[in-house]
Amino acid sequence: METMNSKSQDKSSVVIELTGVKKRFGRQMVLRGVDLVVHEGRTLVIVGASGQGKSVILKHMLGLVSPDRGTVKVFGRDLQQLKRRELNEIRSSFGVLFQNAALFDSLNVFDNIALPLRERTRLEEKVIRDNVMDKLTLMGMERSVDKFPAQLSGGMRKRVGLARALILDPKVVFFDEPTTGLDVHKSNELYRLFYRTQQQLGYTAVIVSHDVPKIFKLADEVALLADGQVQGCMAPEDFQMSDQPMIREFVEETMGHLYLSDEEETNFYA
Amino acid sequence: MRAFFEKIGYETIIFLESYGRLGVFLARTVKSLFTSRFKLRPVIHQVHFIGARSTFVILFTGLFTGMVLGLQGYYTLRKFGSEGFLGSAVALSLIRELGPVLTALMVIGRAGSAICAEIGIMRNSEQIDALECMAVDPFRYLISPKLLAGIFALPLLTAIFDVVGIFGGYLVGVGLFNINTGAYFQGMYASVVWADVEMGLVKSLVFGLLLVWITACKGFYLHLERTGGFGAEGVSRTTTDAVVLSSVSVLVWDYLISALMI
């Protein structure tokens, strides 16, 4: 499979590095030693069954959760060793699109997107307005500036969330299940926006997704999380041909039905 | 036997964690006031929400509290032939005790529950995570305007409660029982001193801090609450806990301040 991203395959610099990350919530061991590397300018997609801890990995990268064991390094700096101010400096180069967009209910679309600019910069209101309208136009949402999140559809909310994630021109953008709850048309629209903005801004992307195999088109690397560990991280075409038992099982489970005969498909669902 | 000690240890850890969180929460909120740009507009917005929008309920409660004080005070004082002291009794009870406490309890019910539910829902829907990821300090953006507004609004609401309560006592004492107007107010002038007002002021300041501190903290750490957790039920349980805890704290601190300042 040819990926949409035709970036250089040269070994680029490491942006995020997780080493031996273990995390337990109560009695449940969620991560059992995760090793993962994200390279600059590339798109890493983390796949795996529900409840395996994909979003927990994302929260470690964002510094929202601390590992019980192991280290999380972003731009070469161990997040656990940083003071809050230093952590905020790193976070100011992040953009995040949450699963449900996490828009602020009490603010309209414009104020939601303007919030990072108003809180993190000293730009004049006119400049803020121009920046916000640029991003909204890019997302095709310029007519919805005055609407509140509750008045928006799921797809519109995701587009506003993406506009907010990109407003500070981040170096790394995280996507937590970006197309969950969207129909095929809206999903494709969001993927196109992702592709276009990444080409334009050149950000590194980390995507947690269930949308296999479509998401492989956008990925430079795919990592499978199963049993609390990364079972393999490789190019999407290698991922689909991998002999690693867990990856093969995942590929067959998620994509196998695409190649089944009618009779096999009946048995598959029986 | 081992299970018994495990249970005690577990409960102790939960207790310490819960109260430790309250301490850390207040420290981070206060710190955020001094380490970042101060913005007046969010504070004014919160003063409107906590203060101005509570005015009607405070007027209503204050009036009827004063009226019932007038009624009960008159029957008690009449036994000793001291009806002339009704003004002093109503004013002292309101200014030193009932004004700050009842105002705080009414504001907890009206605004405190809303603060806890609002922040809890923001936690549930990842809005607080979103703020942190944008490098926006949620303590400065969300909590400190509410804390300042609480500390500012409570003394003002308490003053309204006291004045309306004294007027309620006047309606009953003078209007219903024909006590002399001059006696009602003269007794008040003679007996109420600055120390009484000061006690009421200190109490209302402390209660303003307590109610925002506890209700906001409960909502903010909703995901860590043992009885809370996620979902609509989690928000409702945590809000109930927050209202109960802040109401009880107001009464406990009321006693402590009275004991210290009496």
DSSP string covering B125-150, please? TTHHHHHHHTT--HIIIIIHHHHHHH
Distance CA A72, CA A16 (A): 7
pLDDT at position A269 over 80: no
Instruction: Select the residue from A60, A96, A175 to test the B interface by mutation, using most B Cβ atoms within 10 A.
Output: A96
Statement: the pTM of the whole predicted model exceeds 0.90: no
Q: What one-character DSSP code corresponds to residue A13?
A: P
Helices and strands, counts by H and E, chain A: 9, 10
The phi and psi torsions of A56 (rounded to 5 degrees) equal -65, -35
What average pLDDT score do residues B67-87 get?
93
Please enumerate in sequence order all residues whose Cβ is within 8 A of that of B65, keeping only pairs 6 or more positions apart, or say none.
Answer: B94, B98, B102, B161, B165, B168
Task: Report residue A10's pLDDT band, with 50, 70 and 90 as the boundaries.
Answer: very low
Minimal Cβ distance to B125: which of A88, A91, A102? A102
Residues of B in contact with A63 (CB under 8 A): 132
CB contact under 8 A, B134 and A102: no
Average pLDDT, chain A: 89
User: Domain range holding B70?
Assistant: 2-261
pLDDT at residue A266 tops 70 = no
Q: What is the pLDDT of residues B178-192, one digit of tens each?
A: 999 999 999 899 999
Residues whose CB falls within 8 Å of the CB of residue A6, separated by 6 or more in sequence, listed in order: none
| For residue B46, pLDDT beyond 90 | yes
What tokens does B185 get? 């107010």
| Closest to B100 measured CA to CA, from B169, B158, B30 | B158
Average pLDDT, stretch A41-67?
93
Task: Please state which of the ranges A55-69, A96-110, A254-268, B198-212 shows the lowest mean pLDDT.
Answer: A254-268
Query: pLDDT digit string (tens) for A195-222?
Result: 999 999 999 999 999 888 888 889 999 9
Residue A1 has pLDDT above 50, yes or no: no
Q: Which residues on neighbouring strands pair with residue B114, listed in sequence order?
A: none
- What lies within 8 Å, CB to CB, of B115 at 6+ separation is B50, B146, B212, B215, B216, B219
Decide if pLDDT at B227 tops 70. Answer: no
Q: Which CATH number fits domain A12-93+172-180+197-257: 3.10.180.10, 3.30.1330.50, 3.40.50.720, 3.40.50.300?
A: 3.40.50.300
CB B54 within 8 A of CB B105: no
- Residue ranges of domains in chain A: 12-93+172-180+197-257
**Does pLDDT of A264 surpass 80?**
no
Stronger pLDDT, A122 or B114, i.e. the higher one: B114
Q: Based on the structure, what is the number of domains in chain B?
A: 1
* Sequence letter at residue A93: S
Task: Report d(CA B142, CA A107) in Å as an integer.
Answer: 13
ipTM, two decimals: 0.85
Share of chain A above pLDDT 70, in %: 90
Q: Write out the residues of chain A at the interface with chain B, using a CB-CB cutoff of 8 A.
A: 59, 62-64, 88-89, 91-92, 94, 96, 98-100, 102-105, 115-116, 119-120, 168, 174
Count CB-CB contacts under 10 A for residue B194: 8
Q: How much is the pLDDT for A225?
A: 94
- Which two structure tokens, joined as six digits, stand for B39? 């913005």
- Is the per-residue pLDDT at B228 higher than 60? no
